[in-house]
Structure 1
Amino acid sequence: MGDIRIMIVDSDPAQVETIATALRKHQDFNLISMVSTRETAIRQLSAEPDIVVLNPEVLKKRTLSRFIHSVQAKNQKTRVVLLLENGLSDEDLITDLKTGIRGYISTVDPPAIMAKALRAVHDGEIWAERRLLEKAISKPMLLPETLQSHIPGLPPLTNREMEILTMLLQGSTNREIAVESSISERTVKTHLYRIYRKLKVKSRTKAIALLSH
């Protein structure tokens, strides 16, 4: 049985089956639920999926931010990845990233790409094109070295933490940070955990949002 627990939320049965078939080819995925409505998805969050693959069309008039809030209220560790049938504008995707999604995949992505994306999100990364991440953080940011003066009560960051936070704000993945810093990815995750704890946030996306003016 796979270690990465997946829920698919999509009202198109054929599309759901295509994605499910793709994921079943990889032993590290455990497809625990396939649902067609927002309401059913919220109820079945008690199964504690690691990742919810969501076709935003299912939400209809309800907003993505409300869905993510509902997910996090049930389990803060569950991450949401969008499943896109049609292309969205860069601005829409950037807004979604700031809302709290952890990435997006396309219905036409090869199975290997879908698997790679979901593994990356499970490992704490954001799966999105670099240019979108750069745009998402292109607004004026608080520099790590000036954080103390802007966030009252913030515990001091070590030099290494400031270095890693700077790379995070530039859109670097955990692996890229590890290579650049000559440390292991596991050590990067440890540093990020400490940074998030000091910033009082739960994720990379929340850290970026906090540091945006």
Structure 2
Amino acid sequence: MIKVLIADDQAMVRQGFGALLAAQPDLLVVGDAADGEAAITAARRLDPDVVLMDVRMPVLDGLEATRRLLNGRTDGPRVLILTTFDLDDYVYEALRAGASGFLLKDAPAADLVHAVRVVASGEALLAPSVTRRLIAEFAARPHADRPRPTALQALTPRETDVLRLIARGRSNQEIAADLVVAEQTVKTHVGRILGKLGLRDRAQAVVFAYETGLVAVGG
């Protein structure tokens, strides 16, 4: 069973999402919260696998709640950010905080169920449009030569190639086609990359690749 916590300041949203998810045989809604602070408290008490986190909430917003909840942990719950806008201004900061993906509040019911299952499995729900927004964020920032973390030295040349492709928003299937290998081989590489770098999922891998200079904007 995938345990889910719903954090949103609108009672109707919490109830609607809760009813939808509870109807699935493999999903269990363990609780909800009306603000970011309550979400942190509930998550620590209920130990959910996935937290649906609204961005705009009173007391503590969803970004800060995500940051405090995860705080650099790789074993914490997966956070799925709920947003009203496709390319919210919060994309970059949410990823930096450790979010595993984004979901529009008006997305079809099937998309919500799929999103929860995807992030619970350890994948990231990172659409190409979100990746482009992330790249644009880096493009707008002043760049300086940055030393590459020693962690990158642990990667094999092939793993480094895979990380570069992840950073460009490629799916496992697309990476397999680019490198002419089986998709299962790519999945194995991705798992090893995340393990060696201490990253939660490929969303964090994208941020890591750009911040370390492994991938240059426009390169």
Letter in 1 for 2:10: D
Query: 1:39-118 to 2 correspondence within 5 Å?
Result: 39-45=37-43, 46-58=45-57, 60=58, 62-73=60-71, 76-84=75-83, 86-87=84-85, 89-118=87-116
Counting matched residue pairs gives 200
Q: Which runs of 5+ in 1 are unaligned?
A: 141-146
Q: Which residue is 1:163 aligned to? A: 161
Query: 1:143-182 to 2 correspondence within 5 Å?
Result: 150-152=148-150, 154-177=152-175, 181-182=181-182
* Residues 151-197 of structure 1 deviation map (CA, whole Å, 9 limit, x = unaligned): 2364442243123212211112345445653132xx54432232123
* Residues 82-116 of structure 1 deviation map (CA, whole Å, 9 limit, x = unaligned): 222x3264543344334322222223222111111
TM-score (structure 2 length as normaliser): 0.76
Q: Percent identity?
A: 24
What stretches of structure 1 move > 4 A for 4+ residues in a row?
A: none
Structure 1 position 19, deviation (Å) = 0.8
SS in 2 for 1:52: strand
CA distance in 2, matches of 1:17, 1:64: 18
Letter in 1 for 2:24: H
CA distance in 2, matches of 1:153, 1:177: 22
User: Judging changes above 3 Å, is the alpha-carbon distance between structure 1 residues 47 and 175 closer, same or farther for their aligned structure 2 residues?
Assistant: farther
Structure 1 position 207, deviation (Å) = 2.5
**CA RMSD of the aligned region, Å?**
2.8
Structure 1 position 26, deviation (Å) = 1.9
Say whether the 8 Å CA contact 1:98–1:136 is kept in structure 2: no
Q: Which runs of 5+ in 2 are unaligned?
A: 140-145, 212-219
Q: Which residue is 2:120 aligned to? A: 122
Structure 1 position 70, deviation (Å) = 2.1
Letter in 1 for 2:67: H
Q: Which residue is 2:196 aligned to? A: 198
CA distance in 2, matches of 1:17, 1:122: 21
Q: Which residue is 1:144 aligned to? A: none
Say whether the 8 Å CA contact 1:48–1:75 is kept in structure 2: no
Letter in 1 for 2:182: S
Say whether the 8 Å CA contact 2:100–2:119 is kept in structure 1: yes
SS in 2 for 1:212: helix
* Residues 118-150 of structure 1 deviation map (CA, whole Å, 9 limit, x = unaligned): 11212222224312212313537xxxxxx9x72
